Amino acid sequence: MSTENTGQSLKEYVTAMIGGQLFGLPILRVQDVFIPERLTQVPLAPPEIAGVLNLRGRIVTLIDMGGRLGLGSRDGAAPLMAIGVESRGESYGLLVDSVGEVLKLDDNAREPNPINLDPRLARVSTGIYRLEGQLLMGVDVDRILDIGVKAIAA
Amino acid sequence: MDDLLREFVTETNESLDVVDVELVRFEQDPNNAKILDNIFRLVHTIKGTCGFLSLPRLEALAHAAETLMGKFRDGWPATHDAVTLVLATIDRIKEILESLERGEGEPEGADNDLIAQLERMVESSGPQHAIGTLTPQVLERPLRPGENSLDELERAFRETPVDPPTPKPAKPAPADSPTKDDDSGKGAGQSIRVAVDTLEHLMTMVSELVLTRNQLLEIVRCHDDSEFKTPLQRLSNVTAELQEGVMKTRMQPIGNAWQKFPRIVRDLSNELGKQIDLEMQGAETELDRQVLDLIKDPLTHMVRNSADHGLETPQERAAAGKPSHGSIRLSAYHEGGYVIIQIADDGRGLDTARIKAKAVSQGLVSDAEIEKLSEAQIHKFIFAPGFSTAAKITSVSGRGVGMDVVRNNIDQIGGTIDVKSIAGVGLSFTIKIPLTLAIIAALIVEAGGNRYAIPQLSVVELVRARSGSEHRIERIKDTTVLRLRDKLLPLARLSDLLGGQSTGDVESGFIVVTQVGSQTFGIVVDAVFHTEEIVVKPMSSKLRHIAMFSGNTILGDGSVIMIIDPNGASQALGSTITSQMAAAETVHPAATTEQSTSLLVFRAGSSQLKAVPLSLITRLEEIDVRKIELSNDRHMLQYRGQLMPLISMDKAVIVKGEGAQPLLVFSDGSRSMALVVDEIVDIVEDRLDIQVASENAGVLGSAIIKGQATEIIDVGHFLPLAFEDWFRSKEQPAQRRTRSVLLIDDSPFFRNMLTPVLQAAGYEVTVTGSAQEALAILNDGRAFDVAITDIEMPDMDGFEFAEAVRADGRIAELPIIALSSLVSAEAVERGRRVGFHDYVAKFDRQGLIAALKEQTDVGRAA
């Protein structure tokens, strides 16, 4: 669920840049941040899957966030950082351009998605925060990982 | 569910499994007090714990069962009924446990029925005991003063009021092994219970350790005089031992999967009225927990099958001169990285004739082809989907989900299954499965710049094909095949199968000859590295849909590679190559959407290729020309005790002067004739599409078969040449009223082929080429006894035709037989819905005649 700590108004987010846009992932879902190395590409996989790699003995599936969110696929450019998350006992790495600081944000300051938001973004967004100088989009990890069926059907 | 309860459920389930087995043993060996003590103690423990955890239903049941067993201990005979009742109670307890396990608590309901039966049994078995076990005891000397006779002692002992069972102080389930008092049991305190997750985690960590060690070794190898060398060597050894140790923790004796069998067999022998001995050897053979889980159900299924179908009733056995007890023997042993499991019975064996009939009627193989198969090949049909040899469906087995499911399960774990059957002597299955799924030997290859692992089990050999070498790569249009010794193997580049661009030349690569089931094909890769024992890790759920991969693994150098699934590769290959090879494959149901037909291609009289549907031919023969005799100006051959006329295609075909003469033999009922040909060229599978009809008698027309113009022979023309009355004699009684048949088929070939067949069978045939035409004829008011229609037709197909007929009040009762090369379960089901009375595979002449007879007879009866 995206709303851990519903009792508190302050929520902590790990921030990340993807295609020039700042995103925030709920810190409780983030396992670690790592530099992806020795990425193995998987033929026939959905396009959002960048590949798999070995992270301390676990096989991690990497999601190309740029492609997933419609912000431009990296297309072979060297991945910079990956945010490790877990879902249903499986490990995933979300490929991002860079990882920033951890921000504590007031849940009350969260604003709903603008109605003209790109549907690919709107699907994963939990709301927009106005920071100084830029906007941060909170994202729901489970919805990001909800690829598979649709991608396979395509 | 709290921990205590979970512990209780696990513990009790295990205890009950032991009780199951022990009770069956006890029934056979009622004097073994040790077994009884063991059972008694286990049930007692369950009862005590239930009271502690406040589970009243369980407690009441356990108590009632214990009371009855207490009587056994007092010396009452363990009658068959009593044991059955106790077993039933145990089943009830298990049901309740299942519900507890799901976290639902003790389900509502009462067990008064069972408890009452148990109590009645306790009361009723009273008198038996006095007769049954109390033998007067004679002391062989006079009593000394102060001594009492044994009988008196016994009486005093029995008359002393027994204390009601004191409520046992409730205690948590004991941690020691429940079988500790059993003869074969392992010592107490030798084992502890560990959560599976803990072991899995250990395994993961060890894999990680192995990888790290490999990396270190790699680094040290570059520095000759490193001081790390010795300690690293030590680390390496310890790691290897640790890995082995952890692997061992995953191993379990196969006996765990067999535990339930004595009970199952006992229940079955009751139900079926057979006497069955179950023998188990090698129960201590260990294999991976995961593998064990996967073969449990298949094994159970096969044991049930053996008991139900395999073994005969005692009367049948006696008649066959066999001992009245049938036996089922299970054995297991290790053989080089594999576990071999055998299930054998001494029953009647497989019914080859019935399997044959079934295989043909299900369209798995044609009449003609099955004649060429060996008995062992025929037996393999029992593994085909939906195949059940049981003539009658019993409650035990024979529901149509049978050996195909077993084979699937075994395939899944990379194992193989084989069947051997000797009629009247018995049946045995041999299953070969890898010791563990976690670690397999794999060939590491490279394709398109990535490395992949191919499981060694399915790799037959590696071939390097060069233009000059004996293994040549040849092309049939865009399809590449490998000429390997006397076989042609389809080839595909691995990178193509993986959806990549075709890079480079096939001839520059290595060919991994791979076998999946009966199919052999070559996978072309760019490079082959080495074989490696790899730890198989499951694929991410986002990638699991890719049929080409069965998993992934981490190599020694720390990189992740995908493991190729040979099954997936074979499927992918099937969709990329043409069916050139499919014809060579012996028995595959024609799954293609286009109707393809097996054709025998031959030459006779000229260099022009000729073809005839393979299914019309009974046998291919090559005989010594010296055996051909001339009689009444006709060539004859003594063939299987009869004179068989030889017919030449035309005058240009001459019976050879010497050597062997190839013949196509056609049989119908007891008669045979042979067509003399010059040379049998090939058997091909292709669409039969006659493009140019022929004026010549004996030739239906020309079609393109495998790219070559080929004459299609009209067999119907030649048969009467051999016997003038071929189509007339038959068993048709003259007085029988001629029945009329409306035949609808868009293919002139089938119309031509079927018309004489139907006429020969005594039907008056009206032929039309389309469903619309047929409807028009029917609307004209002409009456038919039955209609036979093709399914796949342009404009209006057979289904639509049937619907139209059913919708028309005047002709709605007309029986319709569907004729199709497309015999799938769905098609049959759809056919049933639209109102086909029967569904017959094309070319199944006997089937068609039988169906016709049935339908017209039904019509007459109605």
**Looking at the predicted structure, is the pLDDT value of residue A30 above 50?**
yes
In this structure, the dihedral spanned by the alpha carbons of residues B706, B711, B713 and B717, taken in order and rounded to 10 degrees, is 170
The Cα–Cα gap between B398 and B402 comes to 7
By Cβ distance, the residue of B205, B448, B542 closest to A147 is B542
pLDDT at A149 over 50: no
User: Alpha-carbon torsion B91, B92, B95, B101, what sign?
Assistant: negative
Question: Is residue B379 located within the same domain as residue B456?
Answer: no
CATH number at B804 reads: 3.40.50.2300
B323 contacts chain A (CB < 8 A): no
Average pLDDT over residues A45-49: 87
List the single range of A142-151, B244-253, B321-330, B402-411 with lowest mean pLDDT. Answer: A142-151
pLDDT score for A135:
92
CB contact under 8 A, B558 and A61: no
pLDDT of residue B593: 34
Tokens of B456: 């060694």
Helix B3-28 crosses helix B261-272 at what angle (to 10 degrees)?
50
> Could you tell me if B79 lies within 8 Å of chain A, comparing CB atoms?
no
Q: Phi then psi for B680, rounded to 5 degrees?
A: -95, 120
Picking from B208, B448, B543, the nearest residue to A61 by CB comes out as B543
How many residue contacts between A and B have a Cβ separation below 8 Å?
Answer: 69
Q: What is the mean pLDDT of chain B?
A: 75
Give the best-scoring range by mean pLDDT among B157-166, B477-486, B555-564, B732-741: B555-564
Q: Is residue B573 part of a domain?
A: no
pLDDT of residue A14: 94
The CATH number linked to B229 is 1.10.287
Model pLDDT, residue B443: 92
The DSSP call for residue B557 is T
**Residue after which a domain boundary falls, among B434, B454, B481:** B434
Residues of chain A with C-beta less than 8 angstroms from the C-beta of B205: 57
Name the CATH code of domain A10-153 (choices 3.40.50.300, 1.10.3720.10, 1.20.1580.10, 2.40.50.180). 2.40.50.180
Name the residue with tokens 């979970």: B6
A33: pLDDT strictly greater than 90: yes
pLDDT digits (tens, 9 = 90+) for B6-21: 777 777 887 788 888 8
Residue B562 phi, psi dihedral angles, 5° rounding: -90, 145
Does the beta-carbon distance from B450 to A152 stay under 8 Å?
no
- pLDDT of res. B724: 60
More confident site: B180 or B159: B159
Q: B116-120, B167-171, B193-197, B230-234 — which is least confidently predicted?
A: B167-171
User: Does the pLDDT at position B142 exceed 80?
Assistant: no
Sequence spans of domains, chain A: 10-153
Do B544 and B692 sit in the same domain of this protein? no
CB-based contact A59 B543, cutoff 8 Å: no
Looking at per-residue pLDDT, the higher value among B527 and B376 belongs to B527
Q: For residues B410 and B542, state if they share a domain.
A: no
Closest alpha carbon to B291 in B413, B411, B204: B413
Report residue B342: phi and psi, to 5°: -120, 140
A1-5, B589-593, B743-747: which is most confident? B743-747
For the cut 50, the answer to whether the pLDDT of residue B187 exceeds it is no
Return the residue matching tokens 């075994």: B410
Residues B413 and B279 reside in one and the same domain? yes
The answer on pLDDT for B145 being more than 60 is no
Assess B196–A contact: CB distance below 8 Å, yes or no.
no
Beta carbons within 8 Å of B383's beta carbon, 6+ residues apart: B403, B404, B406, B407, B417, B419
B498 touches chain A (CB under 8 A): yes
Rg (CA), chain A: 15
pLDDT at A12: 92
Look up the CATH number of the domain holding residue B19. 1.20.120.160
ipTM of the complex: 0.84
pLDDT higher than threshold 70 for residue B595: no
B420 lies in the same domain as B546: no
Tell whether B236 and B382 lie within a shared domain: no
B187-201, B340-354, B499-513: range with highest mean pLDDT: B340-354
Cα distance between residue B389 and residue B400, in whole Å: 9
Q: Are B403 and B382 in contact (CB under 8 A)?
A: yes
How much is the average pLDDT of B617-628? 77
Residue B292: strand, helix, or coil: helix
Q: Which two tokens stand for residue A128?
A: 């927009």
What pLDDT shows up at residue B155?
63
Reply yes or no on whether the pLDDT at B591 is more than 50.
no
Report the mean per-residue pLDDT for chain A: 83
Q: In CATH, what number is assigned to the domain containing residue B689?
A: 2.40.50.180
Residue B37 dihedral angles phi and psi, to the nearest 5°: -55, -45
Answer yes or no: is B803 within a domain: yes
Would the pLDDT of B415 be above 90?
no
As a whole-number percent, the residues of chain B with pLDDT over 70 amount to 76
Q: Look at chain B and report how many structural domains it folds into.
A: 6
- Rounded Cα distance between A127 and A105, Å, is 12
B415 lies in the same domain as B268:
yes
Taking only the tens place, the pLDDT of each residue in B230-270 is 888 898 889 888 888 887 887 888 888 888 888 888 888 88
Whether B108 is covered by a domain: the verdict is yes
b/e B442-461 (16+ beta carbons within 10 angstroms → b): bbbbbbbebbbbbbebbbee
B499 closest CB neighbour out of A44, A58, A61 = A44
Note which residues in 430-449 of chain B have CB less than 8 A from chain A. Answer: 448
Q: How far apart are CA B601 and CA B191, in angstroms?
A: 69
Please indicate, yes or no, if residue B444 is contained in any of the structural domains.
Answer: yes
Q: How many CB atoms lie within 10 A of CB B103?
A: 9
Rounded CA separation B116/B113 (Å) = 5
Looking at the predicted structure, is the pLDDT value of residue B137 above 70?
no
Which among B500, B519, B510, B528 is positioned nearest to B442, based on CA atoms? B528
Least confident of A2-6, B180-184, B405-409: B180-184
* B232 and B91 share one domain: no
Cβ–Cβ under 8 Å, residues A145 and A87? yes
Q: Are strands B619-624 and B739-744 parallel, antiparallel or unpaired?
A: unpaired
**Cα(B705)–Cα(B685) distance, rounded to whole angstroms?**
9
Which residues face B727 on adjacent strands? none
Across the interface, whether the CB atoms of A54 and B559 are under 8 A apart is answered yes
Which site among B542, B549, B561 would you substitute to test the A interface, given the most A Cβ atoms closer than 10 Å to its Cβ?
B542
SS3 B114: helix
Q: Which residues pair with B551 in a beta bridge?
A: B563
- Mean pLDDT over residues B330-342, rounded? 83
Residue of A45, A52, A56 with shortest CB distance to B560: A52
Least CB–CB distance from A49: residue in B500, B537, B542: B542
Task: Say yes or no to pLDDT of A98 above 60.
Answer: yes
B398 shares a domain with B258: yes
pLDDT in the model for residue A136: 92
Query: Count of CB atoms within 10 A of residue B15's CB?
Result: 22
pLDDT value at position B395?
42
**Domain assignment of residue B191, yes or no:** no
Phi, psi of B31 (to 5 degrees): -90, 0
Tell me whether residues B548 and A44 touch, CB distance under 8 A: yes
Q: Are B857 and B762 in contact (CB under 8 A)?
A: no
Per-residue confidence (pLDDT) for residue B735, from 0 to 100: 41
**Residue A154 — pLDDT band, cuts 50, 70, 90?**
very low
Q: What is the pLDDT of residues B19-74, one digit of tens each?
A: 888 878 777 777 777 777 777 777 777 777 776 677 778 878 888 887 777 777 77
CA B423/CA B73 separation, integer angstroms: 46
Contacts A88 to B, Cβ<8 Å: 541
> What residues pair up with B742 in beta bridges, in sequence order?
B766, B787
- Residue B184: pLDDT band with limits 50, 70, 90: very low
User: Inter-chain contact B560–A38, Cβ cutoff 8 Å?
Assistant: yes
* Angstroms from A100 CA to nearest CA on chain B: 28
Query: Highest-confidence range of A21-25, B337-341, B448-452, by mean pLDDT?
Result: A21-25
What pLDDT shows up at residue B718? Answer: 76
CA-wise closest residue to B111 among B63, B60, B47, B54: B60
Q: How many residues are given for chain A? A: 154
Strand-pairing partners, residue B329, are B279, B344
CB contacts of A148 in chain B (<8 Å) are 541-542, 545
Min Cα separation B556/chain A (Å): 11
* B245-280 b/e (C-beta count within 10 Å ≥ 16 → b): ebbeebbbbbbbbbbbbbbbbbbbbeebebebebeb
Nearest CB to A44: which of B498, B541, B561?
B498
Three-state secondary structure readout of B720-762: HHHCCCCCCCCCCCCCCCCEEEEEECCCHHHHHHHHHHHHHCC
Please answer yes or no on whether B546 and A61 come within 8 Å at the CB atom.
Answer: no
pLDDT of residue A128: 92
What average pLDDT does this structure show over B138-158?
Answer: 58
- Distance from C-alpha of B465 to C-alpha of B444, rounded to nearest angstrom: 19
Say how far residue B221 (Cα) sits from the centre of its chain: 50
Q: In this structure, is the dihedral angle defined by the CA atoms of residues B334, B340, B341 and B342, taken in order, positive or negative? A: negative
Q: Lowest-confidence range among B184-188, B467-471, B584-588, B654-658?
A: B584-588
Is a pLDDT exceeding 80 seen at residue B820? no
What value does the mean pLDDT take over residues B356-362? 82
**Does the pLDDT of residue B179 top 50, yes or no?**
no
Q: Are residues B350 and B272 in the same domain?
A: yes
- Please tell me if residue B548 touches chain A, with a CB cutoff of 8 Å: yes
CB-closest option in B499, B548, B554 to A59: B554
Task: Fill in the DSSP letter of residue B41.
Answer: H
Domain that includes residue B224, residue range: 196-249
pLDDT bin (cut points 50, 70, 90) of residue B505 is low
Confirm if B102 and B115 have CB atoms less than 8 A apart.
no
Inside any domain, residue B173: no
The residues, ordered by sequence, that sit 6+ positions from B470 with a Cβ below 8 Å of its Cβ are none
Kindly determine whether residue B560 and residue A41, on different chains, have CB atoms separated by under 8 Å: no
Q: Determine, for residues B211 and A148 on separate chains, whether the beta-carbon distance falls below 8 Å.
A: no
Half-sphere exposure of B8 (CA within 13 A, CB side): 29
**Nearest CB neighbour to A54, from listed B500, B541, B554:** B554
Bridge partner residues of B609 (DSSP): B603
* 3-class secondary-structure state, position B370: helix
Task: Of B101-105, B179-183, B777-781, B793-797, give the lowest mean pLDDT range.
Answer: B179-183
Selected residue with higher pLDDT from B616 and B451 = B451
> What average pLDDT does range B813-834 have in this prediction?
76
Contact B547, B575 (CB under 8 A): no
